[in-house]
């Protein structure tokens, strides 16, 4: 496609570019820069101080655990859902696709709230769970449930349009040649979508590790026990340990930046193997 | 197929059913009383009002950014393009404390605004700023592909037929991308209404003034008022749904008109 730089509105070009760059710097770049500036407010010592606290490390560990459970679950779900939607015809398909997207349009706080309504002390199953001695809310289980709900659409959304474009011909060919369902899946389907799967997993993971609202509702903020990294940032901030809060935040900002870089790399290097909407 | 349905039921359908059922423990008038409580009404007005203003601001800035990226080549264009997704990638709590540090009275931009007597952080304006930040990528990413596709030949034809720059943009380009802008605005609005992490630090959370609806859910949960919390949540969903449906109808109508 021809890059239209030389095309229209030569007189307006500098103004529009200037406005776009200024707007992006003020609204988007400045907050990112601010994280690092504030974290270094007390020098490198201040930046490292929170990482001498065991609470910070248990928050890091918990964040890794929660993402480590939620992301694979939703990757499997994403594959299954994309397979179901693109390889079969059935009534209510558009309803199913709307349901898959639904978690994106509800508030993260509501995504946490629904689990409290089910499993909280006065929730629908609260008394029953209590009798069995099972705790969900204020435990890692609750954190995982909330995170899984929030991040459910990411992988499916990357795979569905791609698998729709690719069609089922190669799979049909493998099947006719005598491949079993599983070996077709592992040798044809999966290799065809691997980069889109990675792309989805990347976005899913970034959200899982950075989620705040939903986990905030189900966590109970028990330091060292149910405190993920974003919640730890909040606690430090509310204790007026601003430098500490920003120091921990640099870790999350770094995760975000890394995700952006990896995502751009995938779009650039493997654009042909991602869904059309991701090709630049 | 079975995996998909089971997982969707367990993770999405059953939990949402709980949200739909729970409020009615209060009875119809109990739900009505909860939703018409002054503090709840104020929170709804702030959440939906600020989300609408932020989505409108995103429409303007998002169009400018998308236009610059698609139509012009300049140094740093690819970087700008990649940075558009930063509000998606940056965890909301991090964005929240960073925005607060910038717009607090002693922050770099907050001090600037304070000099002209405008309070940014800890006010409804701060809420709007945070929501604008969080919604920007939706508009840019919705407009970008459509702007790339706008038929250049039609634009060229318009020019050779003597259309001015202004006419070409208003009569040829804008009608073609308006549905995409509205689509992006809808997504930005939906996200902004429920946003929590990036708003909660900058809002100041003053009841009746800068308290957002999602915070009210958390406050009610902390008071063990599950049904009240669910009523607020359900109310938010219903209003969002109606607003998005209206936007969708306008979008469909515009698409049809520009094709017809």
Alpha helices in chain A (DSSP H): 13-24, 30-39, 43-48, 54-87, 93-105, 108-119, 126-132, 140-151, 153-166, 169-176, 181-184, 190-210, 213-219, 229-238, 242-269
Residue in chain A closest to B22 (alpha carbons) equals A117
Of A156-170, B32-46, B58-72, B166-180, the least confident = B166-180
Give the CA dihedral A229, A230, A235, A237, nearest 10 degrees. Answer: 120
Say if the Cβ atoms of B7 and A80 lie within 8 Å. Answer: yes
Say if the Cβ atoms of B93 and A210 lie within 8 Å. Answer: yes
Residue in chain A closest to B216 (alpha carbons) equals A109
A with B: how many residue pairs have Cβ under 8 Å apart? 265
* CB distance B237 to B61 below 8 Å: no
- pLDDT score recorded for residue B62: 96
Say if the Cβ atoms of B90 and A256 lie within 8 Å. Answer: yes
Which residues of chain A have a CB within 8 Å of the CB of B145?
277
How confident is the model over A61-105, as pLDDT tens digits? 999 999 999 999 999 999 999 999 998 888 888 888 888 989 988
Residue B46 sits at the vertex; the CA angle it makes with A151 and B189, to the nearest 5 degrees, is 40
Say if the Cβ atoms of B68 and A121 lie within 8 Å. Answer: no
- pLDDT score recorded for residue B257: 78
User: Does B23 score more than 50 pLDDT?
Assistant: yes
Which residues of chain B have a CB within 8 Å of the CB of A242?
97, 101
* CB distance B207 to B39 below 8 Å: yes
* B194 closest CB neighbour out of A12, A21, A108: A108
Q: Please name the residues between 84 and 113 in chain A that touch chain B, using a CB distance below 8 Å.
A: 84-85, 88, 96, 99-100, 102-110, 113
DSSP states of B155-177:
HHHHHHTT--HHHHIIIIIHHHH
Which residues of chain A have a CB within 8 Å of the CB of B101?
34, 38, 242, 246
B259 band by pLDDT with thresholds 50, 70 and 90: low
Give the CA dihedral A101, A107, A108, A114, nearest 10 degrees. Answer: -90
Of A130-134, A165-169, B153-157, the least confident = B153-157
Average pLDDT of chain B is: 91
- pLDDT score recorded for residue A10: 58
CA distance linking residue B87 with residue A210, whole number of Å: 12
Residue in chain A closest to B215 (alpha carbons) equals A109
- Mean pLDDT, rounded, for A265-276: 84
Chain A interface, mutation test: which of B91, B196, B218, most A Cβ atoms within 10 Å? B91
Say if the Cβ atoms of B91 and A256 lie within 8 Å. Answer: yes
Of chain A, the percentage scoring pLDDT greater than 90 comes to 56
* A34 closest CB neighbour out of B72, B102, B217: B102
Q: Which of A48, A65, A44, A45 is nearest to A56 (CA)?
A: A48
A222 band by pLDDT with thresholds 50, 70 and 90: confident
- Quote the DSSP letter at residue B58: H
How confident is the model over A155-176, as pLDDT tens digits? 999 999 999 888 888 888 888 8
User: Does A278 score more than 80 pLDDT?
Assistant: no
Which residues of chain B have a CB within 8 Å of the CB of A19?
64, 68
Instruction: Decide which of 3.30.70.20, 1.10.150.300, 3.30.420.40, 1.10.3720.10 is the CATH code for B25-85+134-195+211-259.
Output: 1.10.3720.10
- Mean pLDDT, rounded, for A165-189: 86
Q: What is the ipTM of this complex?
A: 0.91
- pLDDT score recorded for residue B157: 81
């Amino acid at each position: 496609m021809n890059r239209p730089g030389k095309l229209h509105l030569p007189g307006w070009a500098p103004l529009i570019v200037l406005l776009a760059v200024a707007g992006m710097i003020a609204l988007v770049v400045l907050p990112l820069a601010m994280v690092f500036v504030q974290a270094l407010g007390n020098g490198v010592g201040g930046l490292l101080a929170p990482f001498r606290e065991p609470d910070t490390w248990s928050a890091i560990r918990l964040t890794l655990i929660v993402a480590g459970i939620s992301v694979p679950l939703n990757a499997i779900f994403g594959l299954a859902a994309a397979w179901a939607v693109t390889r079969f015809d059935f009534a209510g398909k558009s309803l199913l696709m709307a349901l898959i997207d639904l978690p994106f349009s509800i508030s993260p706080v509501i995504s946490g709230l629904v689990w409290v309504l089910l499993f909280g002390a006065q929730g629908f199953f609260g008394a029953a769970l209590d009798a069995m001695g099972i705790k969900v809310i204020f435990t890692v289980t609750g954190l995982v449930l909330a995170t899984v709900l929030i991040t459910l659409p990411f992988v499916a959304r990357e795979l569905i349009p791609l698998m729709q474009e690719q069609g089922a011909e190669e799979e049909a060919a493998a099947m006719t040649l005598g491949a079993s369902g599983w070996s077709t899946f592992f040798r044809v389907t999966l290799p065809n979508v691997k980069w889109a799967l990675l792309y989805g997993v990347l976005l899913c993971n970034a959200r899982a590790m950075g989620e705040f609202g939903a986990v905030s509702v189900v966590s109970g903020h028990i330091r060292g026990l149910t405190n993920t990294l974003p919640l730890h940032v909040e606690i430090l901030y509310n204790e007026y340990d601003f430098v500490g809060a920003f120091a921990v935040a640099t870790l999350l900002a770094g995760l975000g930046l890394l995700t952006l870089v990896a995502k751009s790399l995938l779009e650039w290097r493997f654009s042909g193997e991602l869904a059309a909407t991701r090709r630049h | 197929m079975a995996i998909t349905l089971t997982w969707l039921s367990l993770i999405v359908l059953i939990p949402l059913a709980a949200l739909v059922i729970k409020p009615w423990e209060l009875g119809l008038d109990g739900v009505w009383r909860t939703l018409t409580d002054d503090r709840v009404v104020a929170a709804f007005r702030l959440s939906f009002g600020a989300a609408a203003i932020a989505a409108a601001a995103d429409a303007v800035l998002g169009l400018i950014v998308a236009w610059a990226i698609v139509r012009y080549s300049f140094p740093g264009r690819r970087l700008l393009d990649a940075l558009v997704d930063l509000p998606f990638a940056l965890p909301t709590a991090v964005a929240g404390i960073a925005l607060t540090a910038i717009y607090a009275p002693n922050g770099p931009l907050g001090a600037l605004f304070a000099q002209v007597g405008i309070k940014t952080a800890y006010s409804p304006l701060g809420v709007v700023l945070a929501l604008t930040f969080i919604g920007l990528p939706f508009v840019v990413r919705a407009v970008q592909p459509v702007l790339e596709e706008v038929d250049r030949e039609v634009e060229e034809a318009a020019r050779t037929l003597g259309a001015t720059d202004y006419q070409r943009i208003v009569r040829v380009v804008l009608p073609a991308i308006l549905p995409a802008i509205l689509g992006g605005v809808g997504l930005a609005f939906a996200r902004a209404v429920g946003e929590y992490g990036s708003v909660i630090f900058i809002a100041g959370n003053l009841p009746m003034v800068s308290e957002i609806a999602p915070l009210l859910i958390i406050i009610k949960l902390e008071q063990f008022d599950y049904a009240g919390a669910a009523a607020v949540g359900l109310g938010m969903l219903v209003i969002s749904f109606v607003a998005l449906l209206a936007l969708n109808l306008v979008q469909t109508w515009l698409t049809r008109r520009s094709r017809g």
